[in-house]
Structure formats: structure tokens, C-alpha cells
Structure 1
Amino acid sequence: MYIENPDRTNLRYGYTTGACATAATRAALIMMVTGKTVDYVEINLPAKKTARFLIENSKIYENYCIASVKKDGGDDPDVTTGLYIYSRVEYSEKSGIEITGGEGVGVVTKEGLPIKPGNPAINPVPLKMLRAAATEVLDSYEVHRGLKITISVPGGAEVATKTCNPKLGIIGGISILGTRGIVIPFSDSSWKASIVLGIRVASRMDMDTLVFSTGGRSDTAVHKIFPDFKEEQFIEIGDFLGFSVKRAVDTGIRNLVIAGMPGKISKLADNNMDLHSSKSSVNFDFLASIGKKIGYPDEIISRIRHANTVLNVMEIINYDSIFLDTLKERSIENINKITGNKIKVDIEIIKNEY
């Protein structure tokens, strides 16, 4: 999986579901061993940091203990923020540590993810964190018994519908995630990682054609254009066009449709592979040059050059098919430069009426 270096921001960091599950597990196991509730625990994070968590909903039963941590995604728009991540621990007759998922934790049903189908959606790093935390507690109290850990997230099934889990083949709940233990606000890396997973899942399903959309409206519109395509073929890539195309080539995808509003496609036609406003901007001189090549009157070319938005340009040319086809051709040429013609590309320009 591709993970980018974290962005540097002044926003408040949060903690991953994996970190919360680990803290809840540590607390529940300490309660199991000592017979006393705990209010806080500290855990070591993969990001080489130590974090302290408030423990809630602690309960000690005869044969098991339960504790929870309230998920806090910091200033990241994380749909799992506010959910309680529960851990139930109990001794087992089996040796070793068994980790499973309960209510609200999804189950993997498709190939291409870090977890094999049929297993709970608890990713490898959180699994490692859970085992390490449990082993540390058992060793520190000199307890030599098997252990079963069940992670559950009440409300997780409902929240999961707002994530990409259903498309990835994770059903019934959220994933227990995190490679660093911390949530970096508005992180590019998390979006890119989800793009890579989407491509990988589609590839494992032997799909050789994908549809990349640069935004929500484009995604909605292109679903209507290709009604017979499977959901896994549609991936919303945002502004990460160059990155996504390269990953598709690396994975062996043969055909690619890129769908975007005229503004985004005009940037691509002007040879920009990062479509974010901070990395590229609409070049109205470039658009005017296309009008000139087509043979528009000087008055129209001037209006294009002095337009305020690409929507304004589309209104001026009335979505002229020759103009749009030129944008498509330029876009395909630019993509072929970075792929070496290893993938067949089509462009869908989505009208602003969608």
C-alpha cells in the first residue's frame, strides 16, 4: 500500500480506530487481571509516540471484562468520530491470543485487501498493536493463559454505509484501521491509500476497466453513463489524477475512463496531473488558444480569455462538441506521456447541470 509522508498542519490530530481498540483492550485486560476498573491507560503508537486514553463503560464480569474508548478523529472529517470502540477480553482454553470482531466491525468478503475474506476487518497494524498490548499486560502480571479479544463498535454498521467499505467488499461495519495510530487531519495519504485499495480490489475481481471521477458530482453522473458497470469499477480519486493513473498502470488495469467537470478536465488538458487548486489553476489563455485553433471569431476568443470561470467558458461556447473533443484529445495525450501508452484512456466531460 502506498502511504505518503504526513501533511504538516496546525490542526488537531486524532487517534485511529486501531489505537482506540488497543487502549480499550489494555484497560479491559488490566481489569481482568486485577479485578479493578481503570480510568486511563497509555499505549505505544506505531508513530513512535505514547498516547493516553480515557476509559469509559468499564464493566467487570465473572468471566470477562469490557472497556471502551470514544473515537476522536481530531480535526479530520472522520465519520467514525464519536463512536465507542469496545473491547471484551476473556481467558481462553486455547493457547495464544485470538482476536475477532463483534457488532459493528465489518467482515471482509473480497480479495485485494490486507485481510483475507471471511475475517473481521481489523487491519494488520491494529492486530499487531492489540497483540503487543495484551502480551505486555499478561507478561507484566505473569499470567500464562490463552486470551480471546473481541472488538465491537455499536453503530458501526450504520456509519460504514458512509465509507468506502461497501464498495471494497467489507460488509456489516467499519474497519479497525491505522498504520500510525494517529489521524492526520485532511491527510492526502489516507485518500491515496483508499484509491490504491479500490484499484487493488477491482483488479483481484478481474476487472480490466475502471472509471475515475474527480469529485462527487462527476461520480454521480458517470454512474448514469455506465449503468451496467459494477460498483467496484468506480473510484473517486479527487485531485490525485496522476497518482491514480500510475497506480492503475502498476496494477495492470487496461482501460480507464476519467470523468470530471470541465474545469478539472481543462487542467488535465493543460498538462496538470495534480488538479488541486493549490497545485494548478485554470489557464484561460490555453482555453482561448483552443478556441483560436478551432476558428472561433476574435470576439469569442477574447471572451474566453477574460472569462471568470470555466462554467462561463462553457456558456460562451455552449458546450461546443469540437471544443470538448479537443480538451479530451489533449488530456489523453498528456496521460499517455506518463504511462507510455500502457493503458487505453477515455475522457468523460460532465456538464455542470448534473
Structure 2
Amino acid sequence: MTRDATGLRRGWTTGACATAATKAAYTALLTGAFPDPVEITLPKGQRPAFALAVESLTATSATVGIVKDAGDDPDVTHGALIRSTVSPGQVGSGVVFKAGPGVGTVTKPGLPLDVGEPAINPVPRQLMRDVVAEVAAAHGGSGDVVVEISVDNGEEIARHTWNPRLGILGGLSILGTTGVVVPYSCSAWIDSIRRGIDVARAAGRQHVAGCTGSTSERVVTEMYDLPEDALLDMGDFVGAMLKHLRRHPVPRLTIAGGIGKLAKFADGHLDLHSGRSQVNHELLATLVADAGGSAELVDAVRTANTALGALQLCQREDLPLADLIADRCRATADDILRGADIAVDIVVIDRAGTVVGRSGHRA
């Protein structure tokens, strides 16, 4: 296990764990012995070894379980037991994938898998095909197998992911493009935003909403009566959402969030996490001054502790700071979209979920 530049420990994806489990299970099916640890090759050439947590061999199948180690990343699947059961398939069938307990099934179009397929993404599928071919060549197998992937308690874990909204029902997805989990890279979240856009487009949605959290999501749902698959839990990653929409547009986009995060977006930040961007109070003071605010108000906004505090100061003097922030957000969004045919509106809320500012909304 390696560490990144910050000293944080990297981990392995569910796809890497499923691949290792498949290699060990197929080896046992052909030879009667489980390799422990089992080593695999990842797309970038790393060769991690995995200890077996579960092993079972019958006359017709072999099962191996591997506990996922996500390193120092706050991954909901950290510690999950990923199982692969390998059994002989029909002659000439190659590798056939099945969703076992705790692995979801695709029920909506727009994902990189057909409806009805197990939620095992293309890269993990190819990694598993590769290890099946490797083991078959080494031990005289045909390579015609059924690979059933399951995750203990996977259906419950999946409730804390995007899967239900994306139409992946019954459990988790088996994910990973590199096999490696980079701590706090949030690549899985960004990938979920992209998949959410793809699913909304495939469903014919004309209006989607990117929300920073559950409160803003509730607000836009009430405002626009949007279906669940039109809601994008963008969190801090407004830039990632806009860049994907630029390439895959929908007619209308609402961006909704708290005034603190949207004040950062108004300043051009595309990652709104508190550790990666801060509210620019000088910008807020400039907006207030340009709107005719008094010198005293401008100074008070410049030294306010938070964007919400600046808003409250402006509300006392009937100066629409949140509307000004919304206008700047809309301009930032248009810059990122680079002419894509998307009508953008902004909804700014306070902590109670009250709409305090808007821009670009239609009557």
C-alpha cells in the first residue's frame, strides 16, 4: 500500500477486490488450491497482493471473499466484504457476469451498461476477463465461466450512495478505472455526477438541478417539482458538473446552494470545499459598493466573519446581496459552459432553507 504526497494511505477499489477474488476463486476451481495472498496487475501496472478473508470450494464452484481497504479515504465501502463465486460456463460463452446479493442491477438507460446488466463497470469487467484468461492459460482451463460478484450488506451500504437515484437497484456498483483509491480525490463523487447527468438525459429530462446539499435539493424540488433523477447532488463539485454538461447539455439547469458556497462560486471557484476555497469578502464588499451601499455597510461586509453575516448586514439595509451573488454565479456558469445551449438560473438559500437570492429564473 502506497501513500500520496500528503502522507495519506491509498486503497483499492471494489473492482480491484472483485478481480483478485475472481483470480483466486478460478485458480482454486481448476487446481483445488487457493493462492493466498493473490496478486493482480492493475491498468497502470501496479501489482497489489490481497489476503483472502473467505474461501470455499465445492465440486461445481469456488468462492473467495476479500475485504476492501480504501486506505485513508472516507469511502462508504471501506471494510466491505467483496465475494466472487466462479463456476463453469457453457462452452464458448467466455466470461458471463452475474449480480449476487448486494450488487445492483441497472434499471435505467444512460449508464455505460445496458438495462438489466449487473452493475459491474466496464474496467472491472475487463480486469476480471484478463485474470480468467491468465488462470486458464496457466492451468488448462477453458475460460468459459460464470462470475457472480456479491457484497455482504451491499444493499444497505448502497442506500448511502447515488445508486438508487441512478436506477441501480439491489446493491452497490463494482467500480474503478485504475483500481486505486486516491484519498480525498472524490473521483467517485464526480463520476456519480456525470452518471446522474447521463441518466437524466437518457430519461429525456429538460431541466436538471445541481444542489450543494439536502436542503437546497429540497428547496428546488418544491420550487420546480423536479423528479428525483433530475436532481444532481453536486456537493462541492460545481465545476465538474458544468464541464460535463458543456459536453452533454440539457435545455435548463438550476444551480442551488447556500450563500457561503455560492459566494465562492461567484468568485470563480469551481471546487467549493472549505479546505480548497474561501469566501472573498473583498469581492462581496465590491458588489455592495457597486450597488450603492453606504461606506459603513461596505466596511462592515468587508470585515464580516461569514457570507451569511454579510447577507444579514445587507438585509437590514434592503440591499440584495444574495441576488448580486446569484448574478455573478450565473456569469461564472456561462463562462464554464462556453456557449452550450443551456439556460441557467441560480437559487441562493440561507441555513434555514429560505430563498434569499435568485438570478435568471423564469416567470
Common fold: TM-score over 0.5: yes
Once the two structures are TM-superposed, the CA of residue 204 in structure 1 deviates from its matched residue by 0.9
User: Which moved further from structure 2: 178-187 or 272-281?
Assistant: 272-281
- Pairwise mapping of residues 108-257 of structure 1 onto structure 2 (< 5 A)? 108-144=106-142, 146-226=144-224, 228-257=225-254
Q: AA paired with 2:262? A: I
In the alignment, structure 1 segments of 5+ residues that lack a partner are: 1-5
- Could you list the per-position Cα deviations for residues 38-86 of structure 1 after superposition, in whole angstroms to 9, with x for gaps in the alignment? 4321111112110101112211112211111011111111111111111
Once the two structures are TM-superposed, the CA of residue 235 in structure 1 deviates from its matched residue by 0.9
Measured in 1, the distance between the counterparts of 2:142 and 2:296 equals: 84
**Percent sequence identity over matched residues?**
39
Measured in 2, the distance between the counterparts of 1:17 and 1:130 equals: 12
- Summarize the Cα distance change of 1:82–1:270 in structure 2 as closer, same or farther, 3 Å threshold: closer
Q: Give 1:318's aligned residue.
A: 315
Once the two structures are TM-superposed, the CA of residue 107 in structure 1 deviates from its matched residue by 0.1
Alignment check: 8 A CA contact 1:106 1:171 kept: yes
- Summarize the Cα distance change of 1:154–1:145 in structure 2 as closer, same or farther, 3 Å threshold: same
Measured in 2, the distance between the counterparts of 1:25 and 1:15 equals: 15
Q: Give 1:3's aligned residue.
A: none
Measured in 2, the distance between the counterparts of 1:248 and 1:352 equals: 28
Once the two structures are TM-superposed, the CA of residue 35 in structure 1 deviates from its matched residue by 1.7
- Could you list the per-position Cα deviations for residues 237-260 of structure 1 after superposition, in whole angstroms to 9, with x for gaps in the alignment? 233323322321321211111111
Q: Give 1:62's aligned residue.
A: 59
Q: Give 2:98's aligned residue.
A: 100
Alignment check: 8 A CA contact 1:307 1:313 kept: yes
Residue of structure 2 aligned with 1:50, choices 47, 52, 59: 47
User: Which moved further from structure 2: 160-169 or 246-255?
Assistant: 246-255
- Summarize the Cα distance change of 1:246–1:23 in structure 2 as closer, same or farther, 3 Å threshold: closer
Q: AA paired with 1:348? A: V
- Summarize the Cα distance change of 1:270–1:16 in structure 2 as closer, same or farther, 3 Å threshold: closer
Measured in 1, the distance between the counterparts of 2:22 and 2:65 equals: 8
Measured in 2, the distance between the counterparts of 1:324 and 1:299 equals: 19
Measured in 2, the distance between the counterparts of 1:246 and 1:53 equals: 37
Once the two structures are TM-superposed, the CA of residue 322 in structure 1 deviates from its matched residue by 2.5
Residue of structure 1 aligned with 2:297, choices 295, 300, 315: 300
Q: AA paired with 2:229? A: E
Measured in 1, the distance between the counterparts of 2:163 and 2:99 equals: 15
Q: Give 2:361's aligned residue.
A: none
Q: Give 2:359's aligned residue.
A: none
Q: AA paired with 1:292? A: A
Q: Secondary structure at the match of 2:40?
A: strand
Measured in 1, the distance between the counterparts of 2:89 and 2:239 equals: 50
Measured in 1, the distance between the counterparts of 2:142 and 2:270 equals: 56
Residue of structure 2 aligned with 1:16, choices 13, 16, 27: 13
Residue of structure 2 aligned with 1:26, choices 23, 27, 31: 23
Q: Secondary structure at the match of 1:349?
A: strand
Once the two structures are TM-superposed, the CA of residue 280 in structure 1 deviates from its matched residue by 3.8
Once the two structures are TM-superposed, the CA of residue 277 in structure 1 deviates from its matched residue by 4.2
Once the two structures are TM-superposed, the CA of residue 196 in structure 1 deviates from its matched residue by 1.2
Residue of structure 1 aligned with 2:78, choices 70, 81, 93: 81
Q: Give 1:350's aligned residue.
A: 349
Q: Give 1:39's aligned residue.
A: 36
Question: What is the TM-score when the length of structure 1 is the normalising length?
Answer: 0.91
Question: What is the TM-score when the length of structure 2 is the normalising length?
Answer: 0.89
Once the two structures are TM-superposed, the CA of residue 137 in structure 1 deviates from its matched residue by 0.8
Q: AA paired with 1:168? A: L
Q: AA paired with 1:53? A: F
In the alignment, structure 2 segments of 5+ residues that lack a partner are: 354-363
Measured in 1, the distance between the counterparts of 2:330 and 2:242 equals: 11
Measured in 2, the distance between the counterparts of 1:144 and 1:332 equals: 58
Alignment check: 8 A CA contact 2:27 2:135 kept: yes
Measured in 2, the distance between the counterparts of 1:246 and 1:224 equals: 26
Once the two structures are TM-superposed, the CA of residue 216 in structure 1 deviates from its matched residue by 4.3
Alignment check: 8 A CA contact 1:222 1:259 kept: yes
Measured in 1, the distance between the counterparts of 2:54 and 2:29 equals: 14
Once the two structures are TM-superposed, the CA of residue 129 in structure 1 deviates from its matched residue by 0.9
User: Which moved further from structure 2: 62-71 or 286-295?
Assistant: 286-295
Give the superposed CA RMSD.
2.1
Q: AA paired with 1:28? A: A
- Summarize the Cα distance change of 1:260–1:140 in structure 2 as closer, same or farther, 3 Å threshold: same
User: Which moved further from structure 2: 55-64 or 162-171?
Assistant: 55-64
- Could you list the per-position Cα deviations for residues 161-207 of structure 1 after superposition, in whole angstroms to 9, with x for gaps in the alignment? 10001111100000111111111111143332222111111111111
- Pairwise mapping of residues 269-308 of structure 1 onto structure 2 (< 5 A)? 269-277=266-274, 279-308=276-305
Q: Secondary structure at the match of 1:318?
A: helix
